[in-house]
């Protein structure tokens, strides 16, 4: 109605106030007899005015509802999209996230048997209404779409979860003959930190490594001997459920580690020292070897995938038949590997991002291969794995409080044991003192008789 449209906002507010608080009859009387526009309004106009007010209220209520929509952002494969949620629930967030997907995303889910999961910018999984509401406490709530296998973990048959591994790293970065064996800065500065971050800081496993970057052949042998003795591995008194051995440095044909003095240490010999015959206490525990060394002098090319396949077939004849071993090489037999730290960096990123959602190690290795291929310098690497296990492996974070109490209890028991040993020793001396008195008295009696 033209009359209603000509009214100013403050006048409309006054009219609406009367309209909401009065009955239809009272509102009509007010318009005709009391309001300041009574001279402009006829009785026949009241119905049209009421209709205009109702239409105006319906329109403004719709606007207010639209203003109450909750805005957030969803990141899909590095593409950031705006979503508007009507209510703060996980179901609504999931619905709006699916609306952002394109045809290629649905094809990807179908072909690779993937499901959509949502995480926040701190990589925490969002799966409840409370978690959604917490994110909207931020100025710009943002979620990331994560593609996960439809079933986790995606394994066939048995699987073993590692919770208390002993992780050992031998990293040699300094060499005496730099003309033949140049120093490896990446092994010293990057590789150790990458693996230490995975196993010590993230998974809270016990991590042991050589602090000196220079190790001769005798040093390596002594390091391994002390490892077995100090950690009581022959009886596995610390109840490790896995051994993870990482070897980084120069290598050569025959699968050897080159030490700082240019001598060779057989990697197969190191591995066999932990088999079920030599280390029976670990016979039921997985033993994972991660080896980042050269395995020959051939320079890899970017089209060396057929060579990789042939080398894998030949390499299988040299694998020991002992059960429980998983050997992971950064390259195939006969090839050099670059001093680029791509391997350790990819292992770190993949393990840290995937173990929390149940990825088995075999699946992680596939993703590590794909990740390295995409990066510059990736042609230097061709990740190869060989195993004698009949199960898959997953990592679980060790609880810090359990680790603390275990160590505290162990120290307490050791202290009590030492206390009682000292007490027994003094009791022995006290008893010996009485025997000494008796002997002295006996001698005096003998002298007096003589």
Report how far residue 270's alpha carbon sits from residue 223's, in angstroms, rounded to the nearest whole number: 12
Asked whether 329 and 385 are in contact (CB, 8 A), the reply is yes
The pLDDT of residue 321 is above 80: no
Residues 174 and 38 grouped into a single domain: no
> Cα–Cα distance between 151 and 97 in angstroms, integer?
21
Rounded mean pLDDT, 301-319: 36
Whether residues 138 and 235 fall in one domain: no
What CATH code is carried by the domain that includes residue 277? 3.40.50.1460
SS3 of residue 275 by DSSP: coil
Q: Higher-confidence residue: 351 or 388?
A: 351
pLDDT of residue 229: 94
177 and 145 together in one domain: no
8-state DSSP, 329:
E
Query: What is the phi/psi pair of residue 99, to 5°?
Result: -65, -20
Helix, strand, coil percentages (3-state) for the chain, rounded to 5, are: 50, 20, 35
In this structure, of 170-184, 192-206, 320-334, the range with the lowest mean pLDDT score is 320-334
Considering the domain architecture, whether residues 126 and 215 belong to the same structural domain is answered as no
- Is 208 or 305 the better-scoring residue by pLDDT? 208
Give the residue from 398, 414, 438 where a domain finishes: 398
- Beta-sheet pairing, 250-252 with 256-258: antiparallel
Residue ending a domain, among 119, 149, 179, is: 149
Residue 144 confidence (pLDDT) above 50: yes
**Among 93-107, 118-132, 149-163, 380-394, where is mean pLDDT lowest?**
149-163
102 in the same domain as 29? no
Predicted confidence band of residue 319 (pLDDT cuts 50, 70, 90): very low
Among 123-137, 151-165, 260-274, 374-388, the minimum mean pLDDT is found in 374-388
Question: pLDDT tens digits for 13-37?
Answer: 888 888 888 888 888 888 888 888 8
Is residue 382's pLDDT more than 70?
no
pLDDT at 320 over 50: no
Q: Identify whether residues 284 and 308 lie together within a single domain.
A: yes
pLDDT band at 73 (very low <50, low <70, confident <90, very high): very high
SS3 at position 256: strand
Q: Mean pLDDT for the chain?
A: 78
Q: Using an 8 Å Cβ cutoff, are 155 and 360 in contact?
A: yes
**Statement to judge: residues 144 and 254 lie in one domain:** no
Confidence band (pLDDT; 50, 70, 90) for 342? Answer: confident
Q: Are 389 and 443 part of one and the same domain?
A: no
Tokens encoding 380: 């230097």
Task: Give mean pLDDT, residues 59-69.
Answer: 58
Instruction: Please report which confidence band the pLDDT of residue 411 belongs to, taking 50, 70 and 90 as the band edges.
Output: low
Q: Can you tell me the distance from the alpha carbon of 75 to that of 298, in angstroms, rounded to the nearest whole number?
A: 42
Decide which of 74 and 433 is more confident.
74
Specify burial of residue 403 (Cβ count, 10 A radius: 0-12, 13-18, 19+): middle
Q: Give me the pLDDT at residue 75, please.
A: 94
Q: Which of 366, 383, 398 is the last residue of a domain?
A: 398
Are residues 291 and 364 located together in one domain of the fold? yes
**Helix (H) / strand (E) containing 162:** strand 158-162
Whether the pLDDT of residue 222 is over 90: the answer is yes
| H runs (alpha helix) in 44-142 | 46-67, 90-99, 103-112, 129-135
* Residue 302 pLDDT: 46
> pLDDT band at 10, cuts 50/70/90?
confident
pLDDT at residue number 378: 44
Task: Decide which of 58 and 35 is more confident.
Answer: 35
The CATH code of the domain that includes 77 is 3.10.20.90
Question: Taking a C-beta distance cutoff of 8 angstroms, is the pair 338, 382 a contact?
Answer: no
Residue 169 has pLDDT above 90, yes or no: yes
Do 251 and 257 form a contact (C-beta atoms < 8 A)? yes
**Percent of the chain surpassing pLDDT 90:** 27
Segment 245-268 mean pLDDT: 91
- pLDDT > 70 fraction of the chain, expressed in percent and rounded: 73
pLDDT at 186: 67
How many distinct structural domains can be found in the chain?
4
Closest CA relative to residue 197, chosen from 352, 51, 337: 352
Phi, psi of 204 (to 5 degrees): 65, 30
Residues 277 and 328 occupy one common structural domain = yes
Tell me what pLDDT residue 316 has: 39
**Same structural domain for residues 182 and 287?**
yes
pLDDT (average), residues 319-326 = 57
Nearest to 296 by CA among 304, 284, 288: 304
User: What mean pLDDT do residues 165-180 have?
Assistant: 92
Hey, what long-range contacts does 81-90 have (CB within 8 A, 24 or more apart)?
A: 88/129, 88/132, 88/133, 88/136, 89/129, 89/132, 90/126, 90/127, 90/128, 90/129, 90/131, 90/132
Average pLDDT of the residues in 264-283 = 91
93-97, 308-312, 392-396, 432-436: which range is least confident on average? Answer: 308-312
- Domain housing 433: 402-450
Which of 155-164, 228-237, 341-350 has the lowest average pLDDT? Answer: 155-164
Looking at the structure, tell me whether residues 415 and 433 fall in a common domain. yes
Give dist(CA 366, CA 360) in Å, integer.
10
pLDDT in tens, 174-202: 999 989 888 887 666 788 999 999 999 99
């Amino acid at each position: 109605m033209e009359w209603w449209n000509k009214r100013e906002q403050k006048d409309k507010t006054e009219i609406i106030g009367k309209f909401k608080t009065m009955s239809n009859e009272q509102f009509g009387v007010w318009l005709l007899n009391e309001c300041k526009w009574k001279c402009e309004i006829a009785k026949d106009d009241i119905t049209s005015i009421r209709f205009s007010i109702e239409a105006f209220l319906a329109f403004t209520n719709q606007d207010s509802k639209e203003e109450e929509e909750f805005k957030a952002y969803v990141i899909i494969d590095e593409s950031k999209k705006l979503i508007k949620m009507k209510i703060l629930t996980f179901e609504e967030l999931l619905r709006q996230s699916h609306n952002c997907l394109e045809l290629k995303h649905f094809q990807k889910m179908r072909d690779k048997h993937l499901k959509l999961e949502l995480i926040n910018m701190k990589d925490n999984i969002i799966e409840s209404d409370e978690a959604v509401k917490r994110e909207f406490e931020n100025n710009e709530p943002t979620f990331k779409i994560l593609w996960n296998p439809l079933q986790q973990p995606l394994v066939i048959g048995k699987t073993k979860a590692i919770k208390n591994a002993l992780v050992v790293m031998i990293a040699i970065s300094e060499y005496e003959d730099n003309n033949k064996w140049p120093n490896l800065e990446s092994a010293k500065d990057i590789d150790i930190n990458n693996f230490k971050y995975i196993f010590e800081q993230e998974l809270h496993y016990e991590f042991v490594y050589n602090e000196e970057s220079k190790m001769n052949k005798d040093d390596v042998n002594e390091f391994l001997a002390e490892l077995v003795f100090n950690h009581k591995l022959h009886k596995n008194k610390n109840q490790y459920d896995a051994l993870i051995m990482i070897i980084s440095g120069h290598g050569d044909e025959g699968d050897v580690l080159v030490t700082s003095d240019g001598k060779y240490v057989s990697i197969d010999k190191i591995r066999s020292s932990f088999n079920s015959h030599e280390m029976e206490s670990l016979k039921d525990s997985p033993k994972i070897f991660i080896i980042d060394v050269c395995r020959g002098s051939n320079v890899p090319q970017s089209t060396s995938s057929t060579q990789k396949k042939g080398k894998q077939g030949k390499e299988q004849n040299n694998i020991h038949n002992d059960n429980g071993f998983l050997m992971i090489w950064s390259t195939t037999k006969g090839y050099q590997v670059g001093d680029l730290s791509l391997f350790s960096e990819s292992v770190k990123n993949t393990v840290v991002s995937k173990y929390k959602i149940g990825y088995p190690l075999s699946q992680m290795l596939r993703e590590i291969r794909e990740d390295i291929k995409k990066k510059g310098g990736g042609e230097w690497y061709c990740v190869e794995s060989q195993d004698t296990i009949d199960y898959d492996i997953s990592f679980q974070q060790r609880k810090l409080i359990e680790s603390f109490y275990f160590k505290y209890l162990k120290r307490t028991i050791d202290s009590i044991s030492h206390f009682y040993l000292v007490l027994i020793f003094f009791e022995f001396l006290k008893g010996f003192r009485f025997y000494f008195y008796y002997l002295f008295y006996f001698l005096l009696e003998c002298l007096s008789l003589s």
